[in-house]
Chain A
Amino acid sequence: MAAFRGGDAPFCLGEAMDKDTNELMTLGTMAEEMSGAEMVIRALKDQGVTHIFGYPGGAVLPIYDALFQSEGIVHVLVRHEQGAVHAAEGYARSTGKPGVVLVTSGPGATNAVTGIADALMDSIPLVVLTGQVATHLIGNDAFQECDTVGITRPCTKHNWLVKDVNDLARVLHEAFQIASTGRPGPVVVDIPKDVQFRQGRYVGPASVRHRTYRPKTEPDLAGIVKALDMMERAKKPLLYTGGGIVNAGPEASRLLRELAALTGFPVTSTLMGLGAFPASSPQWLGLCGMHGTYEANKAMHDCDLMVCLGARFDDRVTGAVDKFSPGSKKIHLDIDPSQINKNIRVDLPIIADAAKALKEMVHFWKSQRRKRALLGDWWAEIEGWRAKDSLAFRNCDTLIKPQHAVDRLFALTRGRDVYVTTEVGQHQMWAAQRFRFEEPNRWMTSGGLGTMGYGLPAALGVQIAHPDALVIDIAGEASVQMTMQEMSTAVQYGLPVKIFILNNRYMGMVRQWQQLLHGGRYSHSYSEALPDFVKLADAFGCVGLRAETPAELDAKIVEMIEVPRPVLFDCRVDPDENCYPMIPSGAAHDQMILSDAEDTAPVSEAGKILV
Chain B
Amino acid sequence: MQKPVERHTIAVLVDNEAGVLARVVGLFSGRGYNIESLTVAEVDHAAHTSRVTIVTSGTPEVIEQIEAQLRRLVPVHRVVNWTLEKPGIERELALVKVAGTGEKRVEALRIADTFRARPIDTTHTSFVFEITGSPAKIDNFVDLMRPLGLADVSRTGVAAISRGPEAM
Residues of A within 8 A of B (CB): 149-150, 153-154, 157-158, 161, 178, 210-213, 322, 336-338, 340-342, 345
Contacts and interface: CB of A to CB of B under 8 A. Distances in A.
Contacts of A158: 74
A178 B74 contact: yes
Contacts of A212: 15, 74-77
B65 A338 contact: yes
Nearest to B13: A212
A322 B1 CA distance: 10
Interface in B1-25: 1, 15, 18-19, 22-23
A158 B68 CA distance: 16
A557 B26 CA distance: 49
A22 B84 CA distance: 42
27 contacts: A149-B19, A150-B19, A150-B22, A153-B19, A154-B26, A154-B30, A158-B74, A161-B18, A161-B19, A210-B74, A211-B75, A212-B15, A212-B74, A212-B75, A212-B76, A212-B77, A336-B72, A337-B68, A337-B71, A337-B72, A338-B69, A338-B71, A340-B68, A341-B61, A342-B65, A342-B68, A345-B61
A342 B65 CA distance: 7
Contacts of A341: 61, 64-65
Contacts of A338: 65, 68-69, 71-72
Contacts of B18: 161
Given A212-B76, A338-B68, A153 B26 contact: yes
Interface string B58-94: 0001001100110110111100000000000000000
A504 B79 CA distance: 52
Given A154-B30, A212-B74, 16 more contacts: A150-B22, A153-B22, A153-B23, A157-B74, A158-B74, A161-B18, A161-B19, A178-B74, A211-B15, A322-B1, A337-B68, A337-B72, A338-B69, A340-B68, A342-B65, A342-B68
Contacts of B76: 212
A182 to B, nearest CB: 9
Contacts of A336: 72
B52 to A, nearest CB: 14
Contacts of B64: 341
Contacts of A149: 19
B83 to A, nearest CB: 18
Contacts, number: 40
Contacts of B77: 212
B32 to A, nearest CB: 13
Nearest to B60: A341
Interface in B26-80: 26, 30, 61, 64-65, 68-69, 71-72, 74-77
A336 B71 CA distance: 10
A320 to B, nearest CB: 13
B78 to A, nearest CB: 9
A211 B49 CA distance: 11
B16 to A, nearest CB: 11
The 8 closest A-B pairs by CB, nearest first: A338-B68, A158-B74, A154-B30, A338-B69, A338-B72, A337-B68, A213-B74, A212-B77
A342 B68 CA distance: 10
Interface string B120-140: 000000000000000000000
Contacts of B26: 153-154
A255 to B, nearest CB: 26
Nearest to A336: B72
Contacts of B69: 338
Nearest to B75: A212
A322 B68 CA distance: 22
Max count, chain A CB within 10 A of own CB: residue among B1, B65, B69, B72: B72
A157 B69 CA distance: 12
Nearest to A341: B64
A211 B26 CA distance: 22
A540 B149 CA distance: 76
B28 to A, nearest CB: 11
A468 B90 CA distance: 64
A340 to B, nearest CB: 7
Contacts of B22: 150, 153
Max count, chain A CB within 10 A of own CB: residue among B1, B19, B30, B71: B19
A336 B23 CA distance: 18
A149 B30 CA distance: 15
A322 B22 CA distance: 34
Max count, chain A CB within 10 A of own CB: residue among B1, B15, B74, B75: B74
Contacts of A213: 74
Contacts of A157: 74
Nearest to B65: A342
B80 to A, nearest CB: 15
Nearest to B29: A154
A322 B74 CA distance: 33
A270 B62 CA distance: 25
A213 B74 CA distance: 6
A340 B64 CA distance: 9
A157 B19 CA distance: 14
A161 B77 CA distance: 20
Nearest to A155: B30
A42 B51 CA distance: 36
A82 B65 CA distance: 31
Max count, chain B CB within 10 A of own CB: residue among A178, A212, A341, A345: A212
A546 B42 CA distance: 65
A213 B26 CA distance: 19
A16 B65 CA distance: 31
Nearest to A340: B68
Interface in B89-130: none
Nearest to A178: B74
Nearest to A187: B74
Contacts of B23: 153
A166 to B, nearest CB: 15
A338 B72 CA distance: 7
A337 B66 CA distance: 12
A150 B18 CA distance: 11
A153 B77 CA distance: 19
Contacts of B71: 337-338
Contacts of B72: 336-338
Nearest to A183: B72
A341 B26 CA distance: 22
Nearest to A174: B74
B53 to A, nearest CB: 18
Nearest to B74: A158
A210 B74 CA distance: 9
Nearest to A159: B19
A178 B19 CA distance: 17
Contacts of A153: 19, 22-23, 26
A210 B75 CA distance: 9
A212 B71 CA distance: 10
A149 B64 CA distance: 27
Contacts of B30: 154
B103 to A, nearest CB: 52
